[in-house]
A and B are shown apart, each in its own frame.
Chain A
Amino acid sequence: MRDLLSKALLGFNWVVMGYAVVVAATQLLLMAAASVHIGRTLRRDVDSRMDDVFAHPGTPGVSVLVPAFNEERTIVESVRSVLALRYPELEVIVVDDGSTDATFAVLEEAFGLVEVPRAIPSVIPVRGAVLSVHRPRDGGPLVVIRKENAKRCADALNVALNAARSPLVCMVDADSVIEPAALLHVVRPFVEHPDSVVAAGGVIRPSNGLRLRRGSVESVSAPPGLLTLAQAVEYLRAFLFGRVGWTWLNGVLIISGAFAVFRRDLVLKVGGMQADSLGQDAELVAALHAALRRERADYRMVIVPQPVCWTEVPSSWKDLGGQRRRWAQGLVQVLWRYRSAFGRPRYGRFGLLILPYHLLFELLGPVVEVLGLPMVAAAWALGLLDSRFALLTFGLSVGFGVLLSLVAVFLDEVTFHRYERWRDLGLLMLAALVESTCLRWIHSWWRVRGLFDAVDPRVKEWGTMSRVGFRTGIHPEPVPDGSRPEPVPSLQG
């Protein structure tokens, strides 16, 4: 029996070892691809290209869609940052999804809203009825729609999609702050490759630690607290290496809902956002992949390396855990919904590369990591553990993670240089170390719990997240006494 157990453990360890090597090789490949892509993009980038997008009379208009539910702390600054976008033809549609706080009242006061008649066609069916439409008294591109809450952010986005009038739609989280040139960066692939680019996004960063002035970023400093710092490093690594690398492979599956631009006609064609999905951004991208592959279309989805958006990340363990569990659930939903595309040549990269990669490495990766620890303990108990070899393997694994994070921080600093003080860089590097050595296992645990949630029919809710709000240069701090605000329900992932 002991012999059999020993063989099983050894076999499992070899499988884990092989798995780790493949994961490391894949990440190295993505890192190399992303570094080459970023270097090439920035070397060949000239200001006149951006000016051309702005100056061209045929640059497509963009409708910016902002779903908001109980966002009274951040909504005014977010809408200001959207209205301050540098873009020739802009429409901003905010959907107040039946907020129970003062979301609409603060918007009404800040922008002088009045009720107007507005035709909203029912191209995509929605659950929550539209109650009224409002526009600023003195004109401008802002439209605020009030609707009944349907307990799904996707429903608010579908109302906004029905109301949008531009060929491109940009989905933005209500707790996000947008860089003034963000749309020019992200729309540029659409205008340079109008026949092929169908969706695009950019690099998202945590807004915790930002100081704003009238919707624009006044100063950038490292997020406060280890948890948000670690997420800052994680976002840099995921966006600069993961998603930009996938752009090189034309295999983007996730364009963050915090800032994503799509061709509106195609989004309407696939039926808009899936109302019952917990990973609606990935769901939409997967739907587009599937539909376009079925039509044998030549298409591209792009993540530009420029930072475009700052979004609030969870600052408490509870919120972060809830978010990661929801992400894992959302991924399960996407992979399950498109299971028929797995391994089928008809679906090209989507069926042969993107879906299998996300199943093997994104979904099952945390399972392997979590199972690995008890297996090491069991091997030690049975006297099968070669301590030097185990330590070496652990060190290499952690060291590789730290290396990836540090290279991401370094690459970001030399290319975009957003942090103003050396102290911030030092903190980020420290967070890279902590994130790869400790937090990574906790994240994996949350994601494994998310897998269990996905098969539990009782757990299908969006959960809640505390909003801290932005620091601004003109208003007092939102939480002056330093106490945590009351949690408010949120539909934003």
Chain B
Amino acid sequence: MAAIADDNEPDLTQPTLPPRVARCMDSLAVALAVKLRGTDRAALADFLQRRGAVQRARKRTRSLRAVERLRAVELLGALGIAECRPDLELRLRDRNADVRRAGVRALGRSGGPESAAALLALLDATTRQLPVHGVTLALTRCGPAAVPALTSALADGGPRARRAAAQVLGWLGATTAVEPLCTVLDDASLAVQVEAIAALGRIGVPAAASPIRARLETCHPAEVRIAAAVALGRLDDATSVPALAAALHDEHEVARSAAAALAQLGATGRQALTAAAALAVEAREVLAGPAMAGLAGSDDLDAVQESTS
């Protein structure tokens, strides 16, 4: 940044730099830009635009060499220039998987609602699919601007898009998405059901507790029951205590999640855990956890052993 600001430095904005120096500058710019936000990033983008680096990068997104395209996409994504978004969206269909991945990352850094829709639409493409992990991170980075596209993908998208949309809505804590998420609790895809339950738990609106409680019943698959137990713990709804206490006698993974959830539900949850401790080792384990934390630094842990044995 000093080089940009200092008038006495050599004029790096001249586009006549030797190619090796220019390449070096670009890679430094990427490394710097991903760490910058706001006006600093805008200043760097402006500097590189004046140097012609942005124009060259836009041109290089159509290079024959995959490495060139990838580096250009990384640079444009790091700078977050809105007018470059069409170039980046075009790379989402690139023939090279690494370039597609870079395109997803770049749109996550520079994208808005339009980018969110483009990313979700291509998740279920039959060829040249986008990586789900990258897309969900990119959508999370898009922030609340992506919520309308995500909500619409819940209703109209393919299974991968619906799953990603449910996941990201939960991470974003989108309270406006509670109703659409409740509608996919009976989705044809088990993965979508699980992610919708988890998302409702993360959003934390108690109104969602009742449909989630219903998923704790043993007629549902274990993955759904586990997700339901975890979500009920997050919802902090005391009316869920009996259902979670009953789940302590379910299979191990469900019982463990139910025990952890009960520990989050205050005094009534802990009472239920203590009552079940004689029969459920999962309850004893969870009871020992906070007790240990409370005694951290103390030598006397006998009390904990006694109370949990």
Contact = CB atoms under 8 A, between A and B. Distances in A.
A137 interface: yes
Interface string B288-309: 1100110111000100010011
A119 B305 contact: no
A120 to B, nearest CB: 9
Interface of A: 43-44, 46-49, 51-52, 55-59, 114-119, 121, 135, 137-139, 165, 191-194
Interface stretch (B79-87, B131-139, B179-187): B131-139
Nearest to A122: B252
A117 B288 contact: yes
A269 B98 CA distance: 32
Contacts of A137: 292, 295-297, 301
Given A44-B67, A47-B31, A114 B292 contact: yes
Interface string B163-198: 000010001000000000000000000000000000
Interface of B: 30-31, 34, 66-67, 70, 74, 78, 98, 101-102, 105, 131-134, 136-137, 140, 167, 171, 252, 255-256, 281-282, 284-285, 288-289, 292-293, 295-297, 301, 305, 308-309
A115 B305 contact: yes
18 contacts: A44-B66, A47-B31, A48-B78, A49-B101, A49-B105, A51-B34, A58-B133, A58-B167, A114-B301, A116-B288, A117-B284, A117-B309, A118-B281, A119-B252, A119-B255, A119-B285, A135-B292, A139-B293
A118 B255 CA distance: 13
Contacts, number: 76
B70 A44 contact: yes
Contacts of B101: 49, 192
A116 B289 CA distance: 8
Contacts of B282: 119
Contact of B133 (A51, A121, A192): A192
A46 B30 contact: yes
Contacts of B134: 52, 192
Contact of A191 (B74, B133, B281): B133
Contacts of B133: 52, 56, 58-59, 191-192, 194
Interface SS of chain B: helix, strand, loop or mixed? helix
B281 A117 contact: yes
Contacts of B288: 116-117
Contacts of B281: 117-119
Contacts of B131: 192-193
Closest 4 pairs (CB-CB, A-B)? A119-B281, A117-B284, A121-B252, A191-B133
B188 to A, nearest CB: 18
Nearest to B252: A121
A191 B137 CA distance: 11
A44 B72 CA distance: 12
Nearest to B66: A44
Given A117-B284, A117-B308, A52 B137 contact: yes
A131 to B, nearest CB: 15
A431 B279 CA distance: 62
Contacts of A118: 281, 285
Given A48-B34, A116-B288, A137-B297, 14 more contacts: A48-B78, A48-B105, A57-B171, A58-B137, A117-B284, A117-B288, A117-B309, A119-B255, A119-B282, A138-B297, A139-B292, A139-B293, A139-B296, A192-B133
A111 B102 CA distance: 42
Contact of B256 (A116, A119, A194): A119
B167 A116 contact: no
A139 B288 CA distance: 11
A48 B284 contact: no
Given A52-B137, A137-B296, A139-B292, A194 B132 contact: yes
Contacts of B297: 137-138
Nearest to B167: A58
A55 B141 CA distance: 11
A412 B105 CA distance: 29
A471 B127 CA distance: 52
Nearest to B70: A44
Contacts of B105: 48-49, 52
A335 B281 CA distance: 42
A446 B103 CA distance: 52
Question: Which of A55, A58, A135: most chain B CB closer than 10 A?
Answer: A58
B41 to A, nearest CB: 14
A119 B257 CA distance: 12
B107 to A, nearest CB: 13
